[in-house]
Amino acid sequence: MHFEYAPEDEAFRQEVRQFFKDNLPPDIARRAAIGAHPPLKDDVRTWQGILHRKGWGAPHWPKEYGGVDWSPVRKHIFMEELYNADGLDYGWQSLHMVAPVLIAFGSEWQKQRFLPTILSGEEFWCQGFSEPNAGSDLANLRTTAVLDGDEYVINGQKVWTSDAVQAEWGFFLVRTDTTVKPQRGISFILVKMDTPGITVRPIISIEGGRGLNEVFLDNVRVPRSHLVGEPGMGWTYAKYLLGKERTTSAFLYFNKRELERVREIARGELVDGLPLLETPEFARKLARVETDLLALEWSVLRVLAEENNRHNADAVVSALKVRGSLMQQRVTELQVDAMGPRALRFYEHDEDSDTLLWPSYVPGRTAGYLIARASTIYGGALEVQKNIIARLAFGL
């Protein structure tokens, strides 16, 4: 496969790069580079507001809802430059997940009420899918929503809910019918997170972050108008949501940016007076990762070039998720390996210091390495993804 960017796309890249250089606040970029988890809410709102005023707030949305009419290649260029600039990729739960579902299946009232505040960054969202006994197999979820007049009464528990402690709203999968097969009894509902009966309890993750949460719902009353689409269609909407962005599951932009940090680290660390980057053993390790990441990038570009070809789309998403999550672990492991004893420093001790006694690349790298250990679990466990590939691509 031979891929070249058209001259007009290269010109677009320069426009995006210059805009980020001129408009991304340095303090926000610094905190994004460290990788604080979760990112500061004020940082996200400030940066999303800047992008929104430029008209770039939601590159992947349809134009009639505030998106831009970019080709898949230009969306790819935009995301690549965003990560290279250490800009915050706001709103996985908001812009990338609940919004496409609302655009495709939501009522006109839901679109008019929620899409503008998602686009501006005014309201944060969280995703309430996983439960203590329903992670990769969401069909086992037990949280119920019982219709009582014009309201649903929700009871149950969610876990690993990212950003729930910051979110104004959440989109939840709930069981509205227990008399049909498990997948058919699930519905998709929007819940205001300060509704009486909701308790959010942070989960402190291994690197010290507070981005994950348990959410307890005790007789939470939600207006019937907050149910998205038809009752019992939540499973279908969730599959649509998870497969909407076919290439983001590869973590390509994160992996490319972090591999460049590996090179930065290896240029700064010395071994017997020689930069680590120039030592044969490390150069071999780096070359292997670079080669595999290049193969992943070409796979993503091929998917972009064939965006309208939906053959085995679910298998493609799973394959990119497998390769991308494993690559995320390899890249962050290489960072820690390159730093040696410096890797003992974590971002929570370092991010406020302006007079560092260690190189600027140190803070946040070990935390990122630890977070990446979960990349083969969240968003669909590795084993489940391989089963999907086997079934859909090979008929096994």
Q: Is 207 among the residues known to form the active site?
A: no
Mutual angle of helices 280-305 and 313-339, in 10-degree steps = 160
Residue 318: predicted pLDDT: 87
pLDDT digits (tens, 9 = 90+) for 138-197: 788 999 999 999 999 999 999 999 889 999 999 999 999 999 988 889 999 999 999 999
pLDDT digits (tens, 9 = 90+) for 291-335: 999 999 988 888 877 765 555 677 888 899 999 999 999 999 999
Q: Which of 122, 243, 131 is nearest to 182 (CA)?
A: 131
Cα 306 to Cα 71, 284, 300, 302, 310: the distances in Å are: 12, 33, 10, 6, 8
**Residues with Cβ within 8 Å of residue 269, at least 6 apart in sequence:** 275, 276, 338, 339, 340, 342
pLDDT band with cut points at 50, 70 and 90 for residue 135: confident
pTM of the model: 0.88
Residue written as tokens 């944060």? Answer: 124
Q: Which of 4, 82, 77 is nearest to 48 (CA)?
A: 82
pLDDT at 252 over 80: yes
The single residue of 151, 168, 214, 245 carrying the catalytic annotation is 245
Residue written as tokens 């998403």? Answer: 317
Least confident of 3-7, 125-129, 271-275: 3-7
User: Which one has a higher pLDDT value, 262 or 136?
Assistant: 262
Q: Which domains does the chain have, with CATH numbers?
A: 7-90 (no CATH), 125-232 (2.40.110.10), 246-394 (1.20.140.10)
Question: In the predicted model, what is the mean pLDDT of the chain?
Answer: 88
Q: What is the DSSP string of 208-238?
A: S---EEEEEEEEEEEEGGGB-SSTT-HHHHH
pLDDT digits (tens, 9 = 90+) for 202-247: 998 887 778 899 999 999 999 999 999 999 999 999 888 877 655 6
pLDDT digits (tens, 9 = 90+) for 37-72: 667 788 889 999 999 999 999 998 999 999 998 988
Residue 344: predicted pLDDT: 77
Q: What is the DSSP string of 258-291?
A: HHHHHHHHHHH-EETTEEGGGSHHHHHHHHHHHH
